[in-house]
Structure 1
Amino acid sequence: MRDLAALVARVGVGGLFFANGWAKLEQGLINTGAEFARQGAPAPGAWATTTMLFELIGGALLIAGLAVSVTGLVLFLEALAVFLIAPPLNQLDTNALVALGAASVLLAVVGAGRISVDHMVVIRRRESEAASEFAADDEADKVIASLRAPDPELPAASGEPASDDPKSGDPASEDTAPHRRPSRRTGEQATSEPGDTLVAGRKKPAARTRKPPATDD
């Protein structure tokens, strides 16, 4: 309903402005200037030309719904100037001038609504901007994906194993973890060679065996 009301207001106000401008054009600039001279306007010829152009062009723009914010403000200023400098001699024309000026500034603030050329232009501009942004994002994603993907033609980086086989001969793939020295087993028991164990950086001395006491036969 708001868009429909804006359309009705635009057509009504713009139609009245356009009709006034067309009437001045039909009368001719000389007759229109003479009328402004009777109203006490300075430079009646310039007033006639200026108001005729503003009313014709501004009324058409209001009807089409193009640049309504600027057009409504310009028509309001034109009506205010005529009311202050050269008010119509007829009271009915004065009331119509006030109503048209108030409606013009209201349209300038409210806008043209969605049933207008302004709205169609804005929609197309936003769609084109959104499409360009999506295209730019897709291109950036492709570039990032290409940078992250490994190149099969490039050799393996230094310090990385060429294969997963531990027997490939690459020193990087050899197992360098510390291991205990294997013990020698004799029968069921395992004995370590003396001097294998380090204690605080020194070899642990071999364990002393206690001789059994001598017995008299």
Structure 2
Amino acid sequence: MKNLKNIFYLFLLLVTFISNGQISAEYLTCEMAENPLAVNTNQPRLSWQLVSKEFYATQIGYQILVSSSEEKLKNGEGDIWNSGRVNSEKNLQIIYSGTPLKSETKYFWKVKVWNQKGKASNWSKIASFRMSPSASDLNPVWIGAITKTNSHLPQKLPHRHFQQTEKRCFDQCFGFVVTQEYYASQTIFGKQRNQRSGSLHFRFRTL
């Protein structure tokens, strides 16, 4: 009889633990990528995965904050977009609907969700995305070893001329490169620099 009581109490504890299981939003993505560096749409799509120890846990609502700085977001300020609570089970491809986004600007975002019992999760970890430069911002300059006319490349191919000083290193770098062969170190955007040539020479293959 005593054993039956113990089993009953253990069962109640298990049920209590399961019923209090917390749903959370994790693995945040923007345009199906984690922290992308070159988003080329003015209304990027945000997604997350739901994680819970509770059986049959579902989402009934969400709230998204997008901020211009990580510090503002940590303080709960969505100065770019605050969706407010949205009653929806959707957690994939949520279209951004806030202030117009600026090119070459990095934004930070997070989300919280509500489960089927109306209980809100904690805020997710902070994610980010960076907008790519617009065509008008690029101001392209031809830097190939051959002439642009002989390259047979599209006339409006986006590219940018840049220089790296001897002591400067880039934390982040992205670009659009059309090349067959390059004469430079693999760490060209780090501390190491090719001493043989101060520029890159491009040929015909797309990376």
Q: TM-score range by the shorter chain?
A: under 0.3
Work out which of the two has the higher radius of gyration on C-alpha atoms and give 1 or 2. 1
Larger fraction in strand: 2
Larger fraction in helix: 1
**TM-score by structure 1 length?**
0.21
**TM-score by structure 2 length?**
0.22
